[in-house]
Amino acid sequence: MRLTVAPPDWAQVEIAVPRAPGALPGVRMAGFRHRAPAFVDIAMVAHPSVTLIIDLSGDEGIVYDANGRREKGSAFVGLLPGEVHAAGTLGECLQVRLSPVEAARAFGPSAELTGTVASFADVWGRGAERFEDRLRGAASWDERFAIVVQVLGRRLDTPVDAEVAHTWQRTLASQGRLRVDGLADEIGWSRKRLWARFRSQLGITPKRAAQLVRFDHAAHLLAAGEAIATVAAESGYVDQSHLHREVGAFAGTTPSVIAAAPWLAIDDVAWPVRRRK
């Protein structure tokens, strides 16, 4: 997988974040505005969230291509999306990252979004166009963030097992280093039951979720300048070869390329709270 062909000039990108993050637990937001709209071609890499990208650029916008499926404009990128390229004119967009638990609460089982990209309207359903119009007409990013909190908050009504939510939170907190058997013991379920309920509601198995969280942690350590051997040890990989295999599986490239990946260049600005050791 290519990490990028034509990355945005991040010096020309204005980034806005909510003044009071955490209004919706498990939901994070950032706004992006390119001062001079420019063509980009970026390969998106798996992240431990379901990402909603609301294109506010107008008619041109971005086209997403994932496993032969193409979507233009606003879109959802699910967990483990495979090879996804976003190409087109980058003007203005709002990104919302939902934990798979919150994605399931808002839109039903996340399994329907795993491994794919889907149009915003198809997933959101009725009111999608009206929601986009409100965001486009807002006078500021703060107003847009408030609209998302208000509208998305009303959708968080699909039940998710407390045990599944607990397992996801423990996976995040441990940076993917806890064993499934131990997590099953914590909640009083059998390993088989946890595996089945977790997968049906969040779209991936507990083991795959742990691998994804661990990869994300390792990727950010690499981007922060940590040596590959150090990252492998701190992230719980058996050795450097194990890290290389996991990076290849999730990003189709090597740790040294990940370390310089443009998609990580502004993460600590747009998504400032990172889980570091």
From-to residues of CATH 2.60.120 in the chain: 4-153
Least confident range of 2-6, 149-153, 230-234? 2-6
Is the domain covering 162-270 a CATH 1.10.10.60 domain? yes
> Mean of the pLDDT values across residues 244-273?
79
Q: Which residues contact 230 (CB under 8 A, 6 or more apart)?
A: 221
From-to residues of CATH 1.10.10.60 in the chain: 162-270
Span 4-153 CATH architecture: Sandwich (2.60)
Core vs surface per residue 169-208: b (16+ CB within 10 A) or e: ebbbebbbebebeebbeebebeeeebbebbbebbbbebeb
pLDDT band per the 50, 70, 90 thresholds, residue 92: confident
pLDDT in tens, 77-88: 888 766 666 777
pLDDT band per the 50, 70, 90 thresholds, residue 66: low
User: Pairing mode, if any, of strands 84-98 and 117-119?
Assistant: unpaired
Three-state SS for 12?
helix
pLDDT for position 85: 67
Q: In the predicted model, what is the mean pLDDT of the chain? A: 84
CB atoms within 10 A of CB 113: 26
The single-letter DSSP state of residue 140 is: S
pLDDT band per the 50, 70, 90 thresholds, residue 32: confident
* 251 against 247, higher pLDDT: 247
Could you tell me if 37 and 57 are in contact, meaning their C-beta atoms sit under 8 angstroms apart? yes
pLDDT in tens, 169-221: 999 999 999 999 999 999 999 999 999 999 999 999 999 999 999 999 999 89
